[in-house]
Structure 1
């Protein structure tokens, strides 16, 4: 694994609190210069005050982003934060992106991100794991937060884990919602939150959400993440147990997650 360059690292910054969490961890680790590629209608504007250089792009402006990185002397970058699925497929691609996409046999999040990684490498820019500096935010197996639950609910989580692993293997989605051994919803193009809302509505309370990594997960991108918004969405949908894959899921906004789990009576488990 390539060691992080503490002199200069770039963020490819999506939405949510992931970018700011990474910035805080990178500063703590001693990174001296942080550069951000931000995206209109995705990245929080506040990120501009946390980094040393920032430029704003539309999704699909790969050539322009690489030129910005080279101008800033960047040789390593990290993808932090999601881009909404609809924006990944509503691209306004520049020439470099068009050429990259023409080479792809399939067009899904994994192949698109893999193609971006390959284009970065052509210009001497290494894409680091998305968990760089954040390894201690990946929970170990067992109860993580919220109320203790009965064995029956743990069994439901383990059942959902098996289903989610198969769904992710087929590149359909990494999240499922189950109840009493029945699959209520499987994540697809709509994204995690919409799948949770749909499954929770069908379950009418007492449902379990399970989120896993893909088999042979590429840790450079699309790493499973749970944060405060996940807890709020689950609770609002009638999902009161969330199970994630131990050692493969980032827990962002940990203190707020713990508080919300207690307040909203949502249990968070990590399955090994």
Structure 2
């Protein structure tokens, strides 16, 4: 008798992990889903939707891997955000300390890459974080909200070039643009703060957000995401459009996003 797939989910905050759970159940009936969540990050209502759930502190890598091994996990995905304040409030166990000692450049890619290596030592393969989610990756063109005007589209295309450059330097993957001027570039503070800052500087008029993937992005642990929160934040900050990278940006809770975009008059266009 062949055993069903057992997939471990390392779940940060937001609706991304839940979206994955629903898609996995649909695409791979009988799959066993084992979740490790983080205190004060992961939504507690995720636990009843999966087969096993353990909450750990950020930094308890040994506990996470032991739980996966005990539950028979052979494949894992990483998804959802960990807020910067929790990353700095790391109370690391020995396994994380040894990992940190090996990593010279500390960015998302190197740290998560090193965690991937630790998982593989215990026979766990890290999968792409868009596994089962292909239908949530919009293709090029108009996606939601009002169709963008030509002037806005120019700003989105300009922002796309800028964001591709900043992301290749490991600075950030989002920029806020108005009339060909870069108002804000995302760095460590996260997309929402970047949006608010850019909106304020753009006087809430004709201002747009562009979000891209890094060149050579490793989709195992870092996928650009747009969900209802992004739309609300943009609307509050007075942004009128969001440019995303076609085929490489996850649209989460699509029905809600489409509704919010029409309601708040925020456009989404895939470039």
Aligned-residue CA RMSD (Å): 1.0
CA contact (8 A) 1:231 1:261 kept: yes
Q: Deviations over 1:114-156 (max 9, x none)?
A: 1100110111110100000001100000000001121110000
Q: Report the 3-state secondary structure (helix = DSSP H, G, I; strand = E; otherwise coil) of the residue aligned with 1:240.
A: strand
Which residue matches 1:16?
14
For residues 247 and 227 of structure 2, the distance between their equivalents in structure 1, rounded to whole angstroms, comes to 16
Q: Deviations over 1:212-255 (max 9, x none)?
A: 00000101011100000000000100111000000000000000
1:31 and 1:78, CA in 2 relative to 1: closer, same or farther beyond 3 A? farther
* Displacement over 2 Å in runs of 4+: none
For structure 2, the 5+ residue unaligned runs are none
TM-score (norm 1): 0.96
Query: Following TM superposition, by how much is the alpha carbon of 1:6 offset from its aligned partner in structure 2, in angstroms?
Result: 4.9
User: Where do 1:184-263 residues align within 5 Å?
Assistant: 184-205=183-204, 206-263=206-263
Query: Following TM superposition, by how much is the alpha carbon of 1:31 offset from its aligned partner in structure 2, in angstroms?
Result: 4.2
CA contact (8 A) 2:148 2:269 kept: no
CA contact (8 A) 2:242 2:268 kept: yes
Count of matched residue positions in the alignment of Structure 1 and Structure 2: 267
Q: Report the 3-state secondary structure (helix = DSSP H, G, I; strand = E; otherwise coil) of the residue aligned with 1:139.
A: coil
For residues 45 and 120 of structure 1, the distance between their equivalents in structure 2, rounded to whole angstroms, comes to 24
TM-score (norm 2): 0.97
CA contact (8 A) 2:9 2:34 kept: yes
CA contact (8 A) 1:147 1:266 kept: yes
For residues 10 and 200 of structure 2, the distance between their equivalents in structure 1, rounded to whole angstroms, comes to 35
